[in-house]
């Protein structure tokens, strides 16, 4: 027994030949078609529509959506591979795909057949864009604390509220929106009484209120959404009434590995660039790589990078095996990889010296891009809670409701 | 061993006379230039004065020169007149095709893109690059006949000496399988970069086609020709194909090569291995070009190039 | 139309291990890849199949590692793949290689078009296409930048050093293509997974009726590989252009490159 898992084989990481082939092609797309346009995207804070379309055509928006719903039918390892390769060149690309995942996941898990058939194929094929609207300015980690309300009138729901920090909300055609449909039965049971709805762009009363400027992850805009008496039919309710919290948690669970892999990609890039620079750059007539402090940084970067890599793909393997333990692994991976990437990005600035903060070097950008990865998709503080709680649940059967 | 040498390009043909003479001299054989086409009588007379043992003038319509099928067939007939021979061919696209065909027709070992040829006991030793120019190799070719395609500007044409005889040989090809139905000569103004002494080359660091004017300005101040890395000709079409310097493009040997906004990928470097002095201007300190250059400036080409041009021009005016 | 595409799995030139001091090259542990321009040839084949219909078969000679290259080609859309396994294939000269490929083609049946890249990025001899065409006694078009096929004829544009040519030939034909001919497609994950199920046929040289020992270099031997290149000075100037430019000019003047 290798606690908290039962044996050594629980730690196995396996890949198939198609994974390596997929990685190669994603890398080719990122290096040939995205990298040359990074400057342009940073400048405009927008990924050009033709690039978005290309991503859709290549099937990137539906990697884990089953083929019967227009997706690629890929596994979590494939999602991780895409996310890592995107993170390595330009993390926002991963987020643009990840947000569609935050829509397709709840629809796949809790949607009716009609909802799946209507909404999944266009999103998986990149023909339509989608977004996930749970967060509000008053409630991020505290999902149960959201104040958007939905009231039933006949067979329709009227939704009122304001959502914030919604990635991809600027271009999305479809949204999943979380609203409170009934009051919490008690303080301990605040998580009860929430419901998801599918809301389409253009619905009266539903608008993008404001685009928020941020320091990093340019090309992946975040917006505020305003809902004023937005009317949706009951057919757009996603999942059982009052159980939206569970839907939200499962959705975020599924997205965790992708974010961990995104950060892994950033760490990979930081390491590659630092190593390359240390080999090229001379100081006091010797290459940087001959200096012990630099070697120290590089070694530490590599330790963290490979550890993160193992965690990410281990979590993906467990998820693909359908094992519940993947939840612990995914949280470990997310918390660790994002922090490892931040450290690597920081140190790569040290290695590069002045060049590290020059915009054109794209070194400082890694740090700006990585910060949000520690915060979104379940902040690292929350991940640390999840790790212990899931661990207790898996190993001791200890159930802690709510979070 | 005798040596036969051929190129559809007159300059390369003249250059090949040098290694041909050297090889023939060592092995006690004869060096024979092959000129293809009735329209090249003048060239035949000229080559005859370049220290060759003999010139074969293949009497055929000059147009047939465009057909590697015909050229290789003619060469086969000529090669068959010799007990053993080294065949040197200019390493142009058609030259390499001719070499491949000839290799089968006379069952000879062949090598292309050679930068040098030297004699051995049973044949020749050639030098050529491999792995997109990352590696240099020496290859030994042995046999009754051996074929080496030699790159342009690998040798200088020899000095003039007494004229050798020009033997006219009749030739008519058997079946020609590929028809040339249209030919478009490239602009006469198109510079042959293989002959340029100085080249300013531009890559992806340049943002817009119009910025070429800046590059041209620098080229003018240096008296240099303009070249580019593959993306600018193949992907963007901002410069013609003849300007593309690299493994699959032109290989150049200028005294000075200035790489502006070029990262230094192997396949580009393969085109400038033998440049005298390489200067790099790039905003990325980690770009591979700096490790492959003699001098470099880390900076924004949009600031460095105009400044460099300005100062070079100021120097010129001082004279 | 029956289209055959030749591909080669080569050592990645960007990952060769070169000893900086001696220039000695090591191929051990160097990852392989499909030679860059081979995918252009595959794309050209798939494009033609798209317009006139038919089947695309890809062939490679190499070790087991070459299966990776074949899977990529299958993922792009080729119908079938063939690997002629040989441990020492890198020592084969082009005539031996052509012999192996001809025997393979004889086994596979008649082809209309045989496509390959203008050269492989490892050796870049550009000899395989002409040698094969000569052996098979079929038409040959090298350095094709565009390709069309219709009514038993193939038409292509060739960019030569000083001119562009448009040529036409009867099929069967061997055509080598340049990197400029197209942008090779990137397969989706679905296509990649589908490729894992497609057929790869394996042959050894013996199964083709050839004697491996007699296929050894026929007067062609690579004596030495060296990673040593002309030592460059690697002097780098950093700072504002007002400072770096004069330093560069001074250096160039010392070399007699500017007056």
CB-based contact B204:B263 (threshold 8 Å)? yes
CB-based contact A362:B285 (threshold 8 Å)? no
User: A99: alpha, beta or left, given left = phi > 0 and alpha = psi -120 to 50?
Assistant: alpha
Q: Which chains touch C (3 or more CB pairs under 8 A)?
A: A, B
Reported as a pLDDT band with limits 50, 70 and 90, residue A230 is very high
Which of A20, A21, A54 should one mutate to test binding to chain C, selecting the residue with the greatest count of C CBs within 10 A?
A: A21
Instruction: For residue B116, give the nearest of B293, B277, B274, B294 by alpha carbon.
Output: B274
Average pLDDT across chain B, whole number: 94
Mean pLDDT in residue range A282-287:
81
Reported as a pLDDT band with limits 50, 70 and 90, residue C217 is low
For chain B, give every domain's residue range. 2-170, 193-318
Contact residues on chain C for A59, CB-CB shorter than 8 A: 188-190
CB-based contact A278:A400 (threshold 8 Å)? no
Instruction: For residue C180, give the nearest of A124, B246, A176 by alpha carbon.
Output: B246
Contact residues on chain C for A20, CB-CB shorter than 8 A: 68
| CATH 3.40.50.1220 holds for B193-318 | yes
Q: In this prediction, what percent of chain A has a pLDDT beyond 90? A: 84
CB-based contact B55:B166 (threshold 8 Å)? yes
Q: Does A322 touch chain B (CB under 8 A)?
A: no
Q: Does B229 touch chain C (CB under 8 A)?
A: no
CB pairs under 8 A, 24+ apart, for B70-73? B70/B171, B70/B173, B70/B176, B71/B6, B71/B8, B71/B36, B71/B98, B72/B97, B72/B98, B72/B101, B72/B102, B72/B105, B72/C134, B73/B105, B73/B171, B73/B173, B73/B174
Contact residues on chain A for B286, CB-CB shorter than 8 A: 273, 276-277, 280-281
Q: List active site positions of A.
A: 377
Q: Would you state the pLDDT for residue A339?
A: 97
Contact residues on chain B for C159, CB-CB shorter than 8 A: 241
Q: Check residue A236 and report its DSSP letter.
A: G
Q: Which two tokens stand for residue C72?
A: 């990529």
Q: Which of A273-287, A291-305, B283-297 has the highest mean pLDDT?
A: A291-305
DSSP labels for A60-101?
Answer: GGGTTS-GGGTS----HHHHHHHHHHHHHH-HHHHHHHHHHH
Q: Among all residues of chain C, which has the CA nearest to that of A125?
A: C188
Which A residues in the span 25-64 are in contact with C, Cβ-Cβ below 8 Å? 25, 28-29, 58-59, 63
CB-based contact A282:A288 (threshold 8 Å)? yes
Q: In this prediction, what percent of chain B has a pLDDT beyond 90? A: 87
A191 pLDDT more than 60? yes
Q: Which two tokens stand for residue A129?
A: 């864009």
Q: What is the pLDDT of residues C197-208, one digit of tens each?
A: 998 999 998 899
The pTM score is 0.91
Q: Would you state the pLDDT for residue B188?
A: 63
Tell the residue number behind the tokens 């690059």, with chain if given: B129
Strand, helix or coil for residue A279: helix
Q: What is the pLDDT of residues B24-40, one digit of tens each?
A: 999 899 999 999 999 99
Q: Would you state the pLDDT for residue C82?
A: 98
Q: Would you state the pLDDT for residue A279?
A: 87
Closest approach of chain A CAs to the CA of C234, in angstroms?
A: 9
Average pLDDT across chain C, whole number: 93
Ranges of beta strands (E only) in B9-68 are: 31-36, 54-59
Closest approach of chain A CAs to the CA of B207, in angstroms?
A: 10
Reported as a pLDDT band with limits 50, 70 and 90, residue C229 is confident
Q: Would you state the pLDDT for residue C70?
A: 97
Burial A66-93 (b: 16+ CB within 10 A, else e): beebbbbbbbbbbbbbbbbbbbbbbbbb
CA–CA separation, B141 vs C217, rounded Å?
10
Query: Are the Cβ atoms of A21 and C236 closer than 8 angstroms?
Result: no
| CATH 3.40.50.620 holds for B2-170 | yes
A403 pLDDT more than 60? no
* Cα A256-A260-A262 angle, rounded to 5 deg: 115
Q: Would you state the pLDDT for residue C93?
A: 87
Reported as a pLDDT band with limits 50, 70 and 90, residue C91 is confident
B2-170 and B193-318 have identical folds: yes
Phi and psi, residue C200, nearest 5°: -120, 125
CB-based contact B299:C244 (threshold 8 Å)? yes
Q: Among all residues of chain A, which has the CA nearest to that of B205?
A: A36
Say which residues have a Cβ less than 8 Å from residue B279's Cβ, sequence separation at least 6.
B256, B257, B258, B259, B293, B294, B295, B296, B297, C248, C252
Q: Which two tokens stand for residue A107?
A: 């629809």
Window from A18-22, A393-397, C243-247 with minimum mean pLDDT: A393-397
Contact residues on chain A for C189, CB-CB shorter than 8 A: 18, 22, 59, 63, 72-74, 78
Average pLDDT across chain A, whole number: 94
Q: What is the pLDDT of residues A9-51, one digit of tens each?
A: 899 999 999 999 999 999 999 999 999 899 999 999 999 999 9
Q: What is the pLDDT of residues C105-122, one digit of tens each?
A: 999 999 999 999 999 999
Q: Would you state the pLDDT for residue C85?
A: 92
If one compares A286 and A242, the residue with the highest pLDDT of the two is A242
Q: Which chains touch A (3 or more CB pairs under 8 A)?
A: B, C
If one compares A346 and A402, the residue with the highest pLDDT of the two is A346
* Cα C182-C186-C192 angle, rounded to 5 deg: 140
Instruction: For residue A79, give the nearest of A307, A341, A257 by alpha carbon.
Output: A257
Mean pLDDT in residue range B76-105:
97
């Amino acid at each position: 027994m290798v606690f908290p898992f039962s044996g050594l084989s629980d730690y196995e990481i396996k890949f198939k030949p198609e994974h390596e082939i997929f990685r190669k092609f994603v890398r080719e797309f990122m290096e040939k078609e995205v990298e040359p346009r990074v400057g342009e995207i940073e400048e405009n804070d927008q990924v050009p529509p033709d690039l978005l379309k290309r991503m859709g055509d290549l099937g990137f928006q539906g990697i884990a959506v089953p083929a019967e719903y227009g997706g690629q039918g890929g596994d979590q390892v494939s999602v991780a591979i895409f996310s890592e390769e995107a993170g390595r060149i330009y993390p926002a690309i991963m987020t643009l795909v990840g947000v569609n995942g935050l829509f397709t996941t709840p629809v796949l898990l809790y949607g009716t057949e009609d909802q799946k058939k209507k909404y999944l194929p266009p999103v998986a094929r990149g023909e339509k864009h989608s977004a996930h609207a749970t967060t509000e300015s008053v409630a991020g980690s505290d999902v149960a604390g959201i104040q958007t309300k939905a009231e039933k009138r006949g067979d329709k729901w009227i939704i009122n509220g304001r959502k914030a920090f919604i990635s991809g909300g600027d271009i999305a055609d479809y949204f999943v929106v979380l609203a409170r449909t009934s009051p919490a039965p008690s303080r301990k049971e605040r998580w009860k009484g929430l419901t998801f709805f599918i809301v389409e762009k253009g619905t009266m009363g539903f608008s993008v209120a404001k685009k928020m400027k941020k320091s990093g992850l340019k090309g992946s805009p975040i917006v505020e959404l305003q809902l004023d008496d937005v009317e949706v039919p009951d057919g757009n309710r996603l999942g059982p009434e009052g159980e939206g919290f569970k839907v939200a948690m499962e959705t975020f669970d599924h997205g965790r590995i992708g974010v961990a892999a995104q950060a892994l990609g950033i760490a990979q890039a930081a390491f590659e660039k630092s190593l390359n620079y240390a080999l090229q750059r001379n100081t006091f007539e010797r290459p940087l790589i001959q200096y012990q402090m630099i070697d120290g940084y590089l070694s530490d970067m590599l330790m963290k990078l490979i550890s993160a890599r193992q965690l990410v793909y281990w979590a993906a393997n467990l998820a693909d095996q359908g094992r519940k333990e993947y939840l612990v692994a995914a949280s470990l991976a997310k918390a660790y990889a994002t922090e490892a990437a931040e450290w690597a990005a920081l140190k790569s600035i040290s290695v590069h010296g002045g060049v590290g903060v020059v915009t054109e070097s794209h070194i400082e950008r890694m740090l700006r891009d990585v910060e949000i990865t520690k915060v979104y998709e379940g902040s690292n503080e929350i991940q640390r809670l999840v790790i212990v709680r899931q661990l207790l649940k898996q190993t001791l059967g200890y159930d802690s409701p709510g979070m | 061993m005798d040596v036969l040498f051929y190129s559809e390009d007159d300059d390369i043909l003249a250059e090949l006379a040098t290694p041909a003479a050297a090889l023939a001299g060592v092995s006690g054989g004869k060096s024979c230039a092959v000129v293809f086409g009735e329209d090249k009588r003048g060239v035949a007379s000229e080559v005859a004065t370049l220290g060759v043992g003999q010139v074969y003038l293949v009497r055929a319509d000059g147009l047939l020169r465009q057909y590697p099928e015909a050229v290789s067939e003619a060469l086969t007939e000529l090669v068959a007149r010799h007990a053993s021979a080294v065949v040197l061919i200019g390493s142009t696209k058609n030259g390499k095709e001719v070499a491949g065909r000839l290799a089968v027709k006379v069952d000879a070992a062949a090598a292309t893109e050679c930068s040098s040829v030297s004699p051995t006991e049973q044949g020749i030793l050639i030098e050529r690059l491999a792995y997109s120019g990352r590696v240099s190799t020496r290859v030994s070719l042995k046999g009754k006949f051996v074929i080496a395609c030699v790159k342009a500007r690998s040798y200088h044409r020899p000095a003039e000496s007494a004229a050798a005889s020009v033997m006219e040989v009749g030739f008519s090809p058997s079946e020609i399988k590929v028809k040339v139905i249209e030919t478009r000569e490239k602009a006469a103004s198109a510079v042959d970069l293989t002959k340029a002494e100085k080249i300013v080359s531009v890559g992806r660091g340049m943002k817009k086609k119009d910025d070429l004017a800046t590059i041209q300005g620098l080229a003018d101040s240096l008296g240099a020709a303009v070249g580019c890395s593959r993306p600018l000709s193949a992907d963007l079409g901002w410069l013609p194909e003849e300007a593309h310097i690299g493994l699959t493009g032109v290989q150049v040997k200028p005294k000075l090569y200035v790489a502006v906004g070029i990262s230094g990928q192997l396949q580009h470097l393969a085109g400038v291995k033998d440049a005298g002095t390489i200067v790099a201007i790039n905003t990325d300190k980690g770009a591979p070009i700096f490790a492959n250059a003699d001098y470099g400036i880390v900076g924004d080409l949009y600031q460095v190039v105009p400044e460099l041009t300005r100062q070079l021009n100021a120097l010129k005016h001082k004279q | 139309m029956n289209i055959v595409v030749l591909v080669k799995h080569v050592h990645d030139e960007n990952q060769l291990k070169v000893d900086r001091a001696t220039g000695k090259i090591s191929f051990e542990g160097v990852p392989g890849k499909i030679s860059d321009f081979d995918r252009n040839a595959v794309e050209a084949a798939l494009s033609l199949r798209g317009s006139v219909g038919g089947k695309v078969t890809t062939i490679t000679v190499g070790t087991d590692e070459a299966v990776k290259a074949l899977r990529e080609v299958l993922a792009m859309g080729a119908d079938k793949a063939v690997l002629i396994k040989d441990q020492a294939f890198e020592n084969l000269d082009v005539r031996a290689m052509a012999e192996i490929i001809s025997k393979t083609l004889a086994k596979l049946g008649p082809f209309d078009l045989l496509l390959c890249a203008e050269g492989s990025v490892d050796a870049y001899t550009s000899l395989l296409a002409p040698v094969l065409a000569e052996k098979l006694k079929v038409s040959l078009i090298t350095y094709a930048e565009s390709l069309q096929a219709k009514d038993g004829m193939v038409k292509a544009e060739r960019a030569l050093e000083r001119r562009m040519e448009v040529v036409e030939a009867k099929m069967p034909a061997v055509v080598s293509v340049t990197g400029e001919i197209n942008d090779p497609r990137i397969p989706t994950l679905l296509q990649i997974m589908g490729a894992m199920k497609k057929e790869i046929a394996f042959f050894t040289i013996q199964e083709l009726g050839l004697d491996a020992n007699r296929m050894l270099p026929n007067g062609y031997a690579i004596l030495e590989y060296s990673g040593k290149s002309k030592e460059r000075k690697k002097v780098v100037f950093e700072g504002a252009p007002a400072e770096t430019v004069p330093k560069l000019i001074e250096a160039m003047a010392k070399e007699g490159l500017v007056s």
